[in-house]
Amino acid sequence: MAVFIPNDGTHCRDIDECKITGQCGEGGQCRNLEGSFDCSCQIGYKVHNGAEPFRPQRGGAACKVVDCGPPVLVEDSVLLSITFTTYGGVARFGCEEGFVWRRGDNSSVCGADGSWSESSLVCEAKCGPVPFLAHSEVVWHNRSVVIHRCVAGYHSWRGANASVCSGSGLWLRATLNCIEIKPPVNQLTLYNGNCLKWKAEKFEEDTELYKVVYLGSRDYQRSFLDKGRRQLSSKGDRLIICLRLLPLTNYSISITAVAARFTATITANTSLTVPPAPVVHYTELETPVPTLRLKRSPNTLDPISFYQIFVLPVEELVVFDCSSPASLDPSSRAESPAEYLTAQLGVQSLGAEVNFTVGDGVLYGGFYNAPLQSGNTYFIVLRVVSRWKTMSRSCCVLWAKVAGTSYILRVSSLCAAASIAAVAMVLLAAYRLSWCVNRTQPFSAPLASVHSDKYNDSKLYIL
């Protein structure tokens, strides 16, 4: 009876709901409870729209088959076969072309958790270890293709950056060439006192535009300022550009590689240069007091300190050392007693036109302009001197020949750079460079020659 009195032994007995087929749905398993039941999913199934344990009548929870989806490939492998993607499915792998199976299990199984087990298959390239390129590193590879790049401090200089494992089992090696990164303007120096020299770091076929700006000042001349610009367009890698730098000047020089957007700077102190040869009209005179003319262009940047006038008696061989005249060296006067300095003219007192009379008996710069001896023949040499501190540079020209000749000797100029303390040397056996003066009147013998060698290139030899 549904309604009963328990004192007669009547009682309630639990109903086992799990005896009802399909109580928990497909893939579900039923668990009977006292007065109730619950459900969970069998292995290979997962609960959806709920959590375990669940009652299918509440919230629509149900068990569905576990599906692992596509299997995960191991490195350098391909999928050979698969039974199914649900629980218990088996996938088998093989190595890609160009690779061989070295070790490990090539299968993977779909697990109850919905994921594939990891295969231990190891595939190695037939070509062996990845090829090595100098100053490079590997950024990506899949055993058959390797991508290289240059390490820090280097950049690629043409060439392919990929190495490929060929079907023959050999690497087709990358041709990447990595070179050290250097500034676009490298090894910048001042060359020959007036020219910039540098090495261009760029691709050979590229044309680069270089812009040079220089600014000069002088410690001893506060108002002085020299500035200029130059530019050069070139594909070359060894470049030289010459500037118009003034002597005894402190310069700051910058050069910009326009395309590379790089600027390099150098400072330089220019030295004393050889003064320009004076403009004179060579003459031959037959007078004991000849007047000679000098045309000059004075300006504030004139590097000339003074002019010196030398008298040389005409002999079979007349030797005059422009860098260190014998008459200025007391120890040499015994060897050349006739040569003498007759005048020294400071540039401060000279105009554009200078007329000088040799032998007028007047002191010039502390030197006595002695009268020429009657009946003798002399060469007159004009020496231009630039001097700064202990440095000295000079340039000489043959100005005139006075008295007693029947031909005209054309002007010869010899410029030299020498220190004040330089010692004159005559090496007659050394290499010679001769200049012969064209005659204006018939004469069969050479009139003048200049001999020079690497030790002594400042002497004038007049025959």
Q: What angle do CA 204, 208, 213 make, to 5 degrees?
A: 140
Is pLDDT above 70 for 46? yes
Is pLDDT above 60 for 150? yes
Rounded Cα distance, 413 and 405, in Å: 21
For 17-65, the fitting CATH number among 3.30.310, 2.20.28, 2.10.25, 2.40.30 is: 2.10.25
Shared fold status for 186-270 and 272-316+339-419: yes
pLDDT at 180: 85
pLDDT at 331: 52
Determine what percent of the chain is predicted with pLDDT higher than 70.
82
**Predicted confidence (pLDDT) per residue in 344-366, tens digit:** 998 888 888 889 999 999 999 99
In this prediction the pTM is 0.45
**Predicted confidence (pLDDT) per residue in 241-271, tens digit:** 999 888 889 999 999 999 888 999 999 988 8
**Taking a C-beta distance cutoff of 8 angstroms, is the pair 206, 235 a contact?**
yes
Is pLDDT above 80 for 343? yes
Asked if the bond preceding 313 is cis, omega within 30° of 0, the reply is no
For 186-270, the fitting CATH number among 3.40.50.20, 3.30.460.80, 1.10.10.10, 2.60.40.10 is: 2.60.40.10
Per CATH, the architecture of 77-125 is what? Ribbon (2.10)
Structure tokens, 250: 């402190």
Tell whether domain 272-316+339-419 is in CATH 2.60.40. Answer: yes
Rounded Cα distance, 340 and 326, in Å: 8
Is pLDDT above 90 for 192? no
**Taking a C-beta distance cutoff of 8 angstroms, is the pair 117, 89 a contact?**
no
Is pLDDT above 90 for 309? yes
> What's the whole-number mean pLDDT along residues 445-459?
37
Average of per-residue pLDDT values in the chain? 79
pLDDT at 55: 81
Residues 6+ apart with CB under 8 A from 200: 184, 185, 186, 208, 234, 236, 237, 238, 239, 257
DSSP category for residue 132: P
pLDDT at 434: 26
Strands (E), 162-305: 162-165, 171-172, 178-180, 185-191, 195-200, 208-218, 221-234, 238-242, 250-257, 262-269, 279-280, 283-285, 291-295
Rounded Cα distance, 88 and 376, in Å: 131
Structure tokens, 143: 């055993």
> What's the whole-number mean pLDDT along residues 360-384?
91
Per-residue pLDDT band for 227 (boundaries 50, 70, 90) equals very high
49: left (phi over 0), alpha (psi -120 to 50) or beta: left
User: What residues does each domain of the chain span?
Assistant: 17-65, 77-125, 136-180, 186-270, 272-316+339-419
End-to-end CA, the chain = 163
**Predicted confidence (pLDDT) per residue in 88-110, tens digit:** 889 999 887 767 787 888 899 99
Per-residue pLDDT band for 162 (boundaries 50, 70, 90) equals very high
Is pLDDT above 80 for 428? no
60-68 long-range CB contacts below 8 Å, 24 or more apart? 62/25, 62/26, 62/28, 63/24, 63/25, 63/26, 63/27, 63/28, 63/39, 64/27, 65/27, 66/110, 66/111, 66/112, 66/113, 66/114, 67/110, 67/114, 68/110, 68/111, 68/114, 68/115, 68/116
Give, for 414, the enclosing helix (H) or strand (E): strand 413-417
Rounded Cα distance, 100 and 143, in Å: 11
Per-residue pLDDT band for 337 (boundaries 50, 70, 90) equals low
pLDDT at 416: 37
pLDDT at 417: 33
Per-residue pLDDT band for 381 (boundaries 50, 70, 90) equals very high
